[in-house]
Chains A and B, each alone.
Chain A
C-alpha cells in the first residue's frame, strides 16, 4: 500500500523529536545545568550549533531536554486520560441509558465545562508549581475526552449481533467490554491519543510559559520561550527555535493522527480509493 505524504511527514517529524528526547538521556552536546557565563549569547557556530542563551547554556541541548520534558508530560497526561477515561466510557456504554451512564457522562460534562488553564492554576496554587502538577492538570482534562470517545465508539458496537451472541454465551458487561468492545474501538483511541498528545505538548508549553509547569533548572520549551521574551528584539533566535520546535512537534503529531485515522478507518480508506 502506498502511504500518503502527510503520514510520512508526520511520522518523520514525530520520530525526529522523539529521537532527540531519547538521545538526551544518554548524551547532549553540553550539560544544560552548567552555566558558562563567558559564552553567553553566542551566535550559532561550530561549537554551539544553535548558539547559547543569556546564561551560556547550549540551545540545542536545551531543546533536546525540553523535548523530553514535553513528551514526558504529554505521555503521562494521555496515559491518565486513557487509563481512567476508557474504563469510564466502557462502563457508561455497558450501562447505556442507566443511572451509572448518566452519572459518568454528566460528571464528564462538568469537567468539560471548566476552563482547563484555570484549573491548572488552581492546582499549582494549592500544590505549588511543578512538572508533576502540570501532568495532573493536563491529565484530568484528558479523562472526559477519552470517556466520551470510548462511549461513542462502544455504543455502535453494542448494537451488533456478535455482542448478542456473547450475551447468549452468558458473558457479562465487563467481559464483553474487554473482549469485544475494546479491540474494536482501539483505532479510535489511537487516533484520539495522538491528538490529545499534541494538545498535551501545547498545554505543557503554555503552563511552563506562565511559570506553572516545569521549574528551573529543568529545561522546557515553554520556559525557554518565557526566558527569551525580554530578548526578543536583540536575540530573536532564542524565542524562534523553541517556538518552531513546538509547532513542528504538534504539526507532526496531528499529521500522524489524521493519517492513522485514514488508514485505520475502512470507510475513509474506501472513499479515498
Chain B
C-alpha cells in the first residue's frame, strides 16, 4: 500500500534514519519493533510528512506510484486523516480536553468531506459505537476527562478510522495502558483491520505484542532496519544478533540467590487509607474514597516480594504509607519492630529506601550527582566526613564511573539515571528497597541490565525488595512471593511460581491471560527441533 524506498532522514545534520526499505501490504499488519531512539516513530512521521523543522529526507515514500516526500503540504493535508490515520501512545494528551469526544471524531469528517454537521454526527456516533463506546452509555457530549485511559484510546481510534483510511499508523498504542485494557485495544485493532480491510503499521517496543498481531515484522536499531520478514519465520530464525538480543532481554531471567530468612522486617496489618473527596452537597459529610482497604502482608529479610496491580489499584498509596508519608485511617505498619508513623526514628527510616518509575523526574535537574546521591544523609544527625567516598563507592556498585560526581543529571541516559536512583537508595545501606515500577520506563535491554544489577546487589547486601509493577513477566522473573492487588485490596498472594502457574482468583487469571506472550513453539529454533527427532 505504501512502500518506503531507501528512506534517509537527517535532522540538523544528524543522521536519524538510514536506507529504510519497507513494504506495507494492504490489509496486513506490519510491525515495527525497536528500542527508544531507534527511529520507529520518526519513520511514521516521515510517512505522514510531520517531521520536525530542520529535517532533510532522501529516498521515496511511494503511495499510488507517487512520492509523498515531494507532495505539497496542501496535498498532504488531504491525505492525512483521510487516507492515513494515526493513533499515539499517550491517550491522556492526544485528545483536546476542551472539546467533547463527539466533536473530535466529527472534526476529521468535517475537514475532509462536505458532509453536514448532522450527518457527521451520525457517523461519529457509529464509529464510537464500533470502537466500543455505544452512545447510550457514552454520549457524544462526554469530555475526555470523563473517560479512562483505555476509553480515550478508543476515542483516538474512532477518530483515526472515521474516514476508512487505507493505512492506520499506531505508535505504541497500548504502552501507556494496563494489561487487560491493552488486550482489549489490541483485539479491537485486530477486528477493525479484518472488517475494514485496512493496513496497520504497528510501532512498539514489545515483541510479544507484535508476535500476536503482526503479519510482517521489521526490527529497527539505530535508524536502520536490521532484519525483517514474516512474523513467525522472523521469530523462529532471528538471523540478526540484535533481534536475538532483544528477544533474550525481553524474557530475561536474572540469576538470583535465595537468601530470604524467616525474619520479618516489614509487617503491614489491616492497613486502610481513605481520601476525603470534594463535597457533593452543602450539608452532610463529604464522600470518602478508600484507596487501600484492609491490606495485610509480611516481608522478610532478604526477600523479594512482588506487588502486582493495574493503575489506580492503590499500589502507590500503599508505597507512600510504608514510607511514612501518608497517615493511615486504620491498621498498622511496623518496620524493624517499630510503628511507622510520625514518631518513626530517622535511624530506622534510613532502612527503607525507594526507587521511582520515571528516571526523568526522579532528580532535581539543578543539582550535581554527588549532592543528589548524598541527599538521604539528611536522615543522619550529621553527614559523615567521608560522604564523598561513600557516594563514589555506591556509584561504583551500580556501575557509574566516579567522574560522574560533578555532572548534572541531564547528561545521563534513562538507564544510567535509574542506576543513579538505585545508588541514592543504597547510600544508607538500607535493608529494604521499594521499587515502584522501577524498570517499567526502560527499554528491554536496559531493563535486563537493571534487573541483573538489582539481583547482584541483593546477593551482596542481603537486601529485601518490594517490587511493585504492572508488568507480570518481570515480577515473575525476579520475585519469591507475589501479592495481587485490585481496588485497594489484596485478592491473592502466594509463592510467585504457584500464583502464576495456578492462579486461584479470577482477577489474577484475567491479568495472566491478558499478558501478551510470544508463542512458545516459536521460541525453539527450527534446527533444535530436527535434532530432537
Chain A residues proximal to chain B, CB less than 8 Å: 160-162, 164-171, 179-180, 183-184, 273
Contact = CB atoms under 8 A, between A and B. Distances in A.
A168 B346 contact: no
Interface stretch (B32-40, B106-114, B216-224, B375-383): B375-383
Given A170-B379, A184-B364, A184-B366, 4 more contacts: A165-B354, A165-B362, A168-B349, A168-B352
A183 B361 contact: no
Contact of A184 (B365, B421, B424): B365
Given A184-B364, A184-B365, A184-B366, A170 B349 contact: yes
B402 interface: no
A171 B346 CA distance: 11
Nearest to B428: A169
B358 interface: yes
B63 to A, nearest CB: 29
Interface in B317-374: 320, 323, 325, 346, 349, 352-354, 356-358, 361-366
Q: Does more than half of chain A's interface fall in helix, strand or loop, or is it mixed?
A: helix
A166 B356 CA distance: 12
Contacts of A166: 375
Name the residue among A160, A170, A171, A184 with the largest chain B CB count within 10 angstroms: A170
Nearest to B434: A168
Name the residue among B323, B325, B361 with the largest chain A CB count within 10 angstroms: B361
Nearest to A180: B364
B53 interface: yes
Contacts of A165: 354, 356, 362-363, 375, 421, 424
B375 A164 contact: no
Contacts of B376: 168-170
A180 B157 CA distance: 40
Given A167-B325, A273-B54, A162 B361 contact: yes
Contacts, number: 54
A273 B354 contact: no
Contacts of B352: 168
Given A164-B325, A165-B354, A165-B375, A170 B346 contact: yes
Given A161-B362, A162-B362, A168-B323, A273 B53 contact: yes
B378 A169 contact: yes
Interface string B403-430: 0000000000000000001001000000
Nearest to A176: B364
B362 A170 contact: no
A160 B353 contact: no
Nearest to B346: A170
Interface of B: 52-54, 320, 323, 325, 346, 349, 352-354, 356-358, 361-366, 375-379, 421, 424
Contacts of B356: 161, 164-165
Contacts of A169: 375-379
A273 B379 CA distance: 44
A168 B353 contact: yes
A184 B421 CA distance: 20
7 closest A-B pairs (Cβ-Cβ)? A161-B356, A160-B361, A161-B362, A169-B376, A170-B379, A183-B366, A169-B378
Nearest to B362: A161
A183 B364 contact: yes
Contacts of A273: 52-54
A169 B367 CA distance: 16
Contacts of B361: 160-162
A50 to B, nearest CB: 46
A108 to B, nearest CB: 22
Nearest to B52: A273
A169 B366 CA distance: 18
20 contacts: A160-B361, A161-B356, A161-B361, A164-B320, A164-B356, A165-B362, A165-B375, A166-B375, A168-B323, A168-B353, A168-B354, A169-B377, A169-B378, A169-B379, A170-B349, A170-B378, A179-B364, A184-B366, A273-B52, A273-B53
A263 to B, nearest CB: 16
Contacts of A171: 375, 378
B239 to A, nearest CB: 39
Name the residue among A165, A166, A168, A170 with the largest chain B CB count within 10 angstroms: A168
Name the residue among A165, A180, A184 with the largest chain B CB count within 10 angstroms: A165
B440 to A, nearest CB: 13
A160 B409 CA distance: 15
Contacts of A167: 323, 325
B219 to A, nearest CB: 29
A214 to B, nearest CB: 40
Nearest to A175: B378
A165 B353 CA distance: 9
A164 B364 contact: no
A180 B375 CA distance: 11
B327 to A, nearest CB: 13
A160 B378 CA distance: 19
Contact of A168 (B54, B325, B377): B325
A42 to B, nearest CB: 56
Contacts of A170: 346, 349, 376, 378-379
Contacts of B378: 169-171
Contacts of A160: 361-362
Contacts of B325: 164, 167-168
A71 to B, nearest CB: 30
Contacts of B353: 168
A164 B352 CA distance: 13
Nearest to B374: A169
A178 to B, nearest CB: 12
B309 to A, nearest CB: 19
Nearest to A272: B53
Name the residue among A160, A161, A167, A180 with the largest chain B CB count within 10 angstroms: A161
Contacts of B362: 160-162, 165
A162 B358 CA distance: 10
Contacts of A184: 364-366
Contact of B354 (A164, A179, A180): A164
Nearest to A184: B366
A273 B54 CA distance: 8
